Amino acid sequence: MNKAIENSPNDVVALDYYALYLRQDARPDESIAIYRQILRLDPLSERAHIELATNFIATQRFSEASDTIASFLRIEPESMNALSGQFFLEARQGNWAAAIAVMTDSLALDPDDPEGPAILGQAYLAIDMPAEASRWFDRAVEIDAEHPMSRAAPLWLNYYLQQNEDESFRLARELLGDRIGSRHGSDTIALTVLVEHAARTGRHEAVLELLDNLYPHLFDDLPHDLDKDFRATYFTALALINSGDADRGSHLMKSLQELTERFVEAYGVHRRTVAGALALGDIDTALDKLAGLAQKKYFWQDDKLLLERSPLFDPIRDEPDFIALLDDYRKTAEEQRKILQAINEEAS
* Of the listed ranges 85-94, 114-123, 289-298, 322-331, the one predicted with least confidence: 289-298
CA distances in angstroms from 160 to 12, 125, 309, listed in the order given: 43, 7, 7
pLDDT recorded at residue 119: 95
For residues 217 and 227, give the distance between their C-alpha atoms in angstroms, rounded to a whole number: 9
pLDDT recorded at residue 259: 86
pLDDT in tens, 148-170: 999 999 999 999 999 999 999 99
pLDDT recorded at residue 182: 82
Residue 185: pLDDT band by 50, 70, 90 thresholds?
confident
Fill in the amino acid letter for 6.
E
pLDDT recorded at residue 225: 55
Whether 230 has a pLDDT exceeding 90, the answer reads no
pLDDT in tens, 248-278: 999 999 999 988 888 888 988 888 999 999 9
Overall average pLDDT of the 329-340 stretch:
95
pLDDT recorded at residue 79: 95
Fill in the amino acid letter for 277.
A
Whether 241 has a pLDDT exceeding 90, the answer reads yes
CA distances in angstroms from 237 to 15, 228, 240, 279, 295, listed in the order given: 35, 14, 5, 9, 27
Domain ranges (residues) in the chain:
1-93
Residue 300: pLDDT band by 50, 70, 90 thresholds?
confident
Which of 40, 3, 36 shows the shortest CA–CA distance to 19? 36
Q: Does the domain made of 1-93 have the CATH classification 1.25.40.10?
A: yes
Mean pLDDT of the chain: 93
